[in-house]
Structure 1
Amino acid sequence: MKNILITGGAGFIGSNLALKLISKGYQVTVLDNLSPQIHGEYPDKSSGLYNQIKDKVNFIEGSVTSKSDWMLAIKNQDVIVHCAAETGTGQSMYEIEKYVNVNINGTAIMLDILANQPHQVKKVVVASSRSIYGEGKYKHADFGFIYPKHRTSGDMDTKHFDVKYCGCDNLELVATDEESKIHPSSVYGITKQNQEQMIMTVCPTLGIAPVAFRYQNVYGPGQSLKNPYTGILSIFSTQIKNGKGINIFEDGKETRDFVYIDDVVDATILGIEEDAADGEIFNVGTGVPTDIISVANGLISNYGIDTTVTITGKYRIGDIRHNYADLSKIRSKLGFEPKYSFDKGLKNFTEWVATQEIEDDNYAKSIEEMKSRGLYK
């Protein structure tokens, strides 16, 4: 299986995956619409992600919402790695039609072609997301493992940010495994759940092996510093480099599992190459939760720039409190082990950011968009 199509292959994960596959001797085709939100208005000049692959892959500028673009891209491919998606929890709560059209309808078009047109595709790997777990998994002293409902505005307005279950908030956070309850708290999460389920359901009926990777919060050198809707490390970095203070949501104690780009690429290649991955769903992360205050302080320390950090108590509708990955399954079935601790990965990331031009800080605009719709409080 030497011919691989990567949708969204000019994006952060897709472009890094493309380069690693090329180094291993694969022939890579990329289908990408070069979204200005990620690549800027003139990708040839402003997008490092695009420029690092454009002369090394068969590049098709097009959209996953176009059947003709899909038909062109799928021709002669052995494997499809489906990364193309609109991303951003907050933005998804008001750009609903766009997120559904790209993430769900785009995937449906691909599957419709595979079901009804001649092709040679043998495997489809989908970039799923930890967002489908919603508020994640906890342990209750009386009820055992439980899955709390989404937090309410009523609680968060009074600065009570922890999840509750049956009135109890003294819950023990545990790692989320692949058998955990699926209950996304954002439109983005719903669309990723739908993508994953369609692929895992349809592909086996066509004799195509499906593989799904539920990525945690991916970061690293090359991450878009232009996009104010995703990537807290990029958002904070742009604010620091612009001499602005960092405003942290809630109480700063919310946690995420930050996984380095090289580890994500390595895990994805295991999914492409290993038969043991066929028909399976895997978490990809580090298995370590890191709170947002630690992220901010780590960035400030690495940049050596004195920056004000404000714990605002503000919150976004659709955000979760905590989530981190249980890696037992991907370790046992694929032998995956993350190589990068957060400290090591953060050092690499900040060293790269220091070499980049300072981008305009558009984060305030994105917050105003949410605030005007009652999604930021």
Structure 2
Amino acid sequence: MKVLITGGAGFIGSRLALRLVEKGHDVTVLDSLLEQVHGADPEQSEGYRAIAEKTAFIRGSVTDRATMERALDGQEVVVHLAAETGTGQSMYQIERYSDVNIGGTSLMLDILANGDHAVKRVVVASSRSIYGEGRYRAPDGSYVYPEHRAEADMQAGDFEVKQPGVDGTLELVATDEDSKIHPSSVYGITKQVQEQLVMTVCPSIGIEGVAFRYQNVFGPGQSLSNPYTGILSIFSNLMMQGKPINIFEDGEESRDFVFVDDVVEATVLGVEHPAAANEVFNVGTGVPVSVMTVARTLSRLLEADVPIEVSGNFRLGDIRHNYADMAKISDRLGFAPQFDFERGIARLADWAKASGPQESAYQKSLDEMRERKLLK
């Protein structure tokens, strides 16, 4: 098929493009080659160099109508990955995140709704961030979906979630696709709207929509310089520079870390599998891993003897826990992740050591958040 990947020179997109080419598809990549993601010389970035000669490449923004019309021409499937990413940054670059994530998706659908095209399916990269806090079981056996944690509680060192009217400890359980959607960041809001736009508009105009709620994706090729890319690459880069690691909250906050190759295989199913049509799927491992475990594992694998300090700092908009219920994607598409956390992080560490540390704006990103009173 003819497949357009927006954001196709990025961390996930470049690997997806190569996998689809390998499977015989004709792939076009649209990417703005944003400096924050690809560096000051983006045409030398790993993602761009990987796909430059194997796909039809268009440099441009998903917010530009002429560019989008050109990119969509003749395509049969669109995989819409292009988005501004970064929970913390989204809380103060609100217009930028809304313009690209919501505006770009709206523009794409507007073109499809009002013109001739060959598109049969749109696959959109949604996110676990749309859930906000994950799903919990109350002492009476009912499921609850806690709201944002109170700043006053976190200032006092109490980072656990609470549910008004519920006495006793809440038990963390896997978050399924029917769980409450209540994002706690601007980024999460934009991903929710992206997903809902695709899943609402596409069926109304005769296009199949597919949404993948990716958990925390990691692996080789993830930018070491982008301070908003994820803690595994951030921690790796800091450790290789011999810098201490500041663990926010108490280090017990957890995420579902899913290896990039598994995300690619799930997304290929979204492109090809008939049963994916008009469905929403979690993509993760179904296993929560604490931030402290991440730091200690990386320190061991990178042989980095650096201080790992639990500071009690916290960011407004962050959640405590979330991990995916994987039953639906397993049952409907036959998908199961092939990489557990230990195997995946070993691959990341080997790649990071070979790539070497890179200059990063991580400290600058923290300073910006402190100035805006979003980092406490």
Show the counterpart of 2:371: 372
Tell me if the contact between 2:6 and 2:82 (Cα under 8 Å) persists in the aligned partners.
yes
Aligned length: 375
What is the CA distance between 1:169 and its match in structure 2? 5.9
Task: Single out whichever of 116-125 and 167-176 deviates more from structure 2.
Answer: 167-176
Normalising by structure 2, we get a TM-score of 0.99
* Alignment correspondent of 2:57: 59
For residue 361 of structure 1, report the CA deviation from its aligned partner.
3.2
Mapped contact 1:242–1:361 kept (Cα < 8 A) = no
Amino acid in the other structure paired with 2:372: R
Query: Is the CA contact (8 Å cut-off) linking 2:240 and 2:356 kept in structure 1?
Result: no
The AA in structure 1 aligned to 2:56 is: N
Amino acid at match of 2:304: I
Q: Is the 8 A contact 1:163 1:169 kept in 2?
A: no
Question: What's the counterpart of residue 73 of structure 1?
Answer: 71
Q: In 2, are the aligned partners of 1:228 and 1:235 still within 8 Å (CA)?
A: yes
Aligned-pair distance for 1:318? Answer: 0.3
- Structure 2: distance between partners of 1:114 and 1:362: 38
Pairing 1:175–2:174 present: yes
Secondary structure of the residue that 2:355 maps to in structure 1? Answer: coil
Match of 1:85 in 2: 83
Within a 5 Å distance, the mapping from 1:206-221 to structure 2 comes to 206-221=205-220
For 2:93, the equivalent position in structure 1 comes to 95
Deviations 1:191-223 (A, max 9, x none): 000000000000001110000000000000111
Question: SS of the residue aligned with 1:281?
Answer: strand
CA contact (8 A) 1:6 1:81 kept: yes
AA paired with 2:31? D
Q: Secondary structure at the match of 2:317?
A: coil
Amino acid at match of 1:294: T
Aligned residues with identical type, % of pairs: 58
Listed as ranges, the gaps of 5+ residues in structure 2 are none
CA contact 2:238–2:357 (8 Å) conserved in 1: no
Paired amino acid for 1:69: T
Give the counterpart letter for 2:40 in structure 1. E
Residues 169, 161 of structure 1: CA spacing in aligned structure 2 closer, same or farther, 3 A cutoff? farther
Matched, 1:272 2:275: no
Aligned residue for 1:52, secondary structure, equals helix
Report SS of the residue matched to 1:154: helix
Aligned with 2:163 (options 154, 162, 165): 165
Specify the alignment match of 1:189 in structure 2.
188
Residue 43 of structure 2 is matched in structure 1 by 44
Once residues 361 and 104 of structure 1 are traced to their aligned partners in structure 2, the CA distance between those partners, rounded to angstroms, is 28
- What do residues 115-165 of structure 1 show as CA deviations (whole Å, max 9, x unaligned)? 001100000000000000001100001361000111011110001000001
Match of 2:286 in 1: 287
Matched, 1:124 2:126: no
1: distance between equivalents of 2:228 and 2:337? 26
Q: Deviations over 1:160-185 (max 9, x none)?
A: 00000126461100000000000000
AA matched with 2:175: T
Q: Provide the rounded CA distance (Å) in 1 between the counterparts of 2:208 and 2:55.
A: 24
Structure 2: which amino acid aligns with 1:260? F
Structure-2 residue corresponding to 1:142: 140
Structure 1 residue 230, shift from structure 2 partner? 2.3
Is the 2:139–2:168 contact (alpha carbons within 8 Å) kept by the matching residues of 1? no
Asked if 1:20 is matched to 2:16, the reply is: no
